[in-house]
Chain A
Amino acid sequence: MNAPHDPSSVGAVVAQKASFDSPLALRGGATLPSFEIAYETYGELNAARSNAVLVCHALNASHHVAGTYADDPDNVGWWDNLVGPGKPLDTRRFFVVGNNYIGSCFGSTGPASVNPATGRPWGADFPVVTVEDWVAAQARLADHLGIERFAAAIGGSLGAMQALQWTLSYPERIRHSIVIAATPKLTAQNIAFNEVARAAILTDPDFHGGHYYDKGVVPARGLRIARMIGHITYLSNDAMMEKFGRQLRRAALGFDFDIDFEIESYLRYQGDKFSTYFDANTYLRITKALDYYDPAADFGGDLAAALARARAAFLVVSFKSDWRFPPDRSRELVKALLENRRIVSYLELGSPGGHDAFLLDDARYHAALRAYFDNIEL
């Protein structure tokens, strides 16, 4: 992996926290009395404060976008292939801000944090947060960092929803929105997959209605299954066939219910790993945030009307092999932007990686992002 001396790595980084004492009114009606946001920054904010780029993460990532930690050199940031000196999002030119959304289990205030009203973990009482709420919280972080206006916000999947929402919540505070592997709303099938994941968690006997922190258990079985079903939707059938095919894990079919196929082994491994580091209460809330996102809902379903207030320039990127949020969904967004005569470019790339292609360093994908960032004026 990237050793600290790797010239294209940002090297050892330090996670930081910003505390906010004024309440945050949430879309669902609840109010967070106070909150913290975990974040990391790479590069330097220039004197004009015009070079800040906000990186928004998707389901299971965090503010650790690039680089490593001095005491944990193998912990490489989740978008390290994109962000660094000389990389497409070049930290010699841009001041890059990675942030962790509220409700997460990686540092920002979330269900495992202490509820100031009770002195105990929030657990099930932590409100359901939305993409709009995350963006409102990120705006507070921008204030804290002295960033009046972002040069760009970028994200894939759920992160792309945040990059899009920035142009609607704070049209004057963002110049470019880079929206990758996105959808302007989930389909019934997308929601259905999320509901299976939630059902797995909610029916785990160790879930205890969300108040499991002080019972010394976690709903690991539910989380495991949630992750397995999620993971299936992130990969394309072609990518799965190429990687695993029908390859057997053991010498011959077992005619029992142990692992026969490599893909079973892979999914179990992914599920087990996930259940050791991710929080079930967070997972429930993230899938709801996905389900609820639909900026056109307040405009009678008219996405173009919803986007009329956006002022940013857009780069929209989809992947042909992505069946979770396929190119059709991105084209809906592009169509609505065209109807508003927005500045927009749209790429529909042939990368085979499925939904997760946005995390991979496909040469054409990265060449396009590099070209786009290079043309952003500072």
Chain B
Amino acid sequence: MSPAEQSLLAARPDLAAVAQWVARGARVLDLGCGDGSLLRYLWQAREAPGYGVEIEDDSVIACVKNDVNVLQLDLESGLSLFRDGTFDCVILSETLQTIHRTEQLLREMLRVGREAIVSFPNFGHWAARLQVLFGRMPVSEALPYQWYETPNVHMCTLADFEDLCRRLGIRIRERLVLHQGRSVGLLPNLLGSHAVYRCTAQ
């Protein structure tokens, strides 16, 4: 692993969690791929070729710089550019909470891919609960925005996400809950600030 990759994984443990579930040579679609760091890592470390989807101009240009395939598209309009079953693995990393049409996107992910990996900040973390209890919208490392400037529109807890998966017929295969880069075993919906799920269709 190169120093650049190590620093990526140190800075973004959720990406490390995502990466561990991507098989060598898997075909990957990374939705909301940012500057393409994960795709670049997956290509270098796992020889997993893929495409990123991103909407922000500067991120898309960063992807081109990073020499990863990027498609500048709006996730809200679906994944109509991709045929059924094109990918082994579709990743939605720290983006779920910014999506308006959440159900549609989750269904689309499992239409175009065999497996979905979803990570998001946990609104059920005790620090968030405490802030709400004291009458304030939560602001934390995992939720760094003030209510009036946040791109997040659909916050959820682990329990909420798992409910939605059940309702959509999505099967959760694995779950990793994190806080400050460490795995959380006990009371995950209270003590975890991030969650990463590996899902398939039923």
Bound Cα distance A375, B144 (Å): 34
**A347-B60, A350-B57 as given contacts; A334 in contact with B71, CB under 8 Å:** yes
Could you write out 17 A-B pairs with CB less than 8 Å apart?
Answer: A335-B80, A338-B51, A338-B86, A343-B69, A344-B71, A345-B63, A345-B70, A345-B71, A346-B71, A347-B64, A347-B72, A364-B57, A368-B61, A368-B64, A371-B61, A371-B64, A372-B64
* Number of residues of chain A lying within 8 A (CB) of chain B: 21
Q: Is A291 part of the binding interface, using a Cβ–Cβ cutoff of 8 Å?
A: no
A346, A350, A375, most chain B CB atoms within 10 A: A346
Task: Tell me the complex Cα distance, A338–B71, Å.
Answer: 10
A residues in contact with B63, CB < 8 Å: 345
CB pair A364–B81 under 8 Å, yes or no, is: no
A217 on interface, CB distance cutoff 8 Å: no
Question: Which of A346, A347, A348, A371 is in CB contact (< 8 Å) with B65?
Answer: A371
Nearest chain-A residue to B68 (Cβ)? A345
- Nearest-neighbour CB distance to chain A for B133, whole angstroms, equals 42
Min CB distance A7 to B, Å, is 24
Q: How far is the CB of B147 from chain A (nearest CB, A)?
A: 27
- Whole-angstrom distance between the alpha carbons of A344 and B52 in the complex? 10
CB distance from B2 to the nearest CB of A (A): 17
Instruction: Using A346-B72, A348-B73, A372-B64 as known contacts, say yes or no to A338 and B81 having CB atoms under 8 A apart.
Output: yes
Cα(A344)–Cα(B72), bound, Å:
11
Give the CA-CA distance A350 to B61 in the complex, in Å. Answer: 13
Contacts of A350 in B (CB 8 A): 57
How many chain B residues touch A (Cβ–Cβ < 8 Å)?
19
Given contacts A364-B61, A367-B61, contact A335 B81 (CB under 8 A): yes
Among A335, A338, A343, A364, chain B packs the most CB atoms within 10 A around the CB of A338
Q: Mark B77-90, 1 if CB is under 8 A from A, else 0.
A: 00011110010000
**Contact between chains at A346 and B73 (CB < 8 Å):** yes
CB contacts (< 8 Å) of A367 on chain B: these are: 61
A267 interfacial contact with B, CB 8 Å: no
A229 interface residue (CB < 8 Å to B): no
User: Given A334-B81, A335-B81, A338-B81: A346 and B64 within 8 A (CB)?
Assistant: no
Name B residues whose Cβ lies closer than 8 Å to a Cβ of A.
Answer: 51, 57-58, 60-61, 63-65, 67, 69-73, 80-83, 86
Given A334-B81, A350-B57, A364-B57, 6 more pairs with CB closer than 8 A: A338-B83, A343-B69, A348-B73, A368-B60, A368-B61, A375-B64
Number of A-B residue pairs having CB atoms within 8 Å of each other in the complex:
49
Contact partners of B81 in chain A: CB under 8 A: 331, 334-335, 338
Q: A338-B51, A350-B57, A364-B57 are in contact. Are A345 and B83 (CB under 8 A)?
A: no
- Which B residue sits closest to A369, measured CB to CB? B64
Bitwise, A360-378 to B at CB < 8 A (1) or not (0) is 0000100110011011000
Residues of A within 8 A of B67 (CB): 375
- Residue A44 lies at the interface, judged by CB distance under 8 Å to chain B: no
Neighbouring B residues of A334 by C-beta, 8 Å: 71, 81
Pick the residue among B71, B72, B83 that contacts A339 (CB under 8 A).
Answer: B83
B72 to chain A: which residues have CB within 8 Å? 346-349
The answer to whether A346 touches B61 (Cβ under 8 A) is no
User: With A and B bound together, what is the CA distance between A331 and B57 in angstroms?
Assistant: 17
Known contacts A364-B57, A367-B61, A371-B64; A346 and B70 CB within 8 A of each other: yes
Known contacts: A347-B72, A348-B73, A349-B57. The answer to whether A338 contacts B82 by CB under 8 A is: yes
Name which residue of chain A comes closest to B82, CB basis. A338
- Residues A345 and B65 in contact, CB atoms below 8 Å apart: no
A348–B83 Cα gap in the complex (Å)? 21
Q: How far is the CB of A125 from chain B (nearest CB, A)?
A: 45
State the CA gap A364–B56 with chains docked (Å). 11
Contacts of A339 in B (CB 8 A): 83
Would you give the shortest CB distance from B16 to chain A, in whole angstroms?
25
CB-based nearest B residue for A314: B69
Q: How far apart sit A356 and B151, CA to CA, in the bound complex (Å)?
A: 33
Report the minimum CB–CB distance from B75 to chain A (whole Å): 13
Closest to B72 in A: A348
For residues 51 through 99 of chain A, which have their beta carbon under 8 Å from a beta carbon of chain B?
A: none
Residues of A near B58 (CB, < 8 A) are: 364
Counting from the closest, the 10 A-B pairs by CB-CB distance are A371-B64, A371-B65, A348-B72, A346-B71, A375-B67, A335-B81, A364-B57, A368-B61, A345-B70, A347-B72
Chain A residues lying within 8 Å of B82, measured Cβ to Cβ, are 338
| Chain B residues within an 8 Å CB radius of A372 | 64
- C-alpha gap A160/B105 in the complex (Å): 33
Docked CA distance A372–B64 (Å): 6
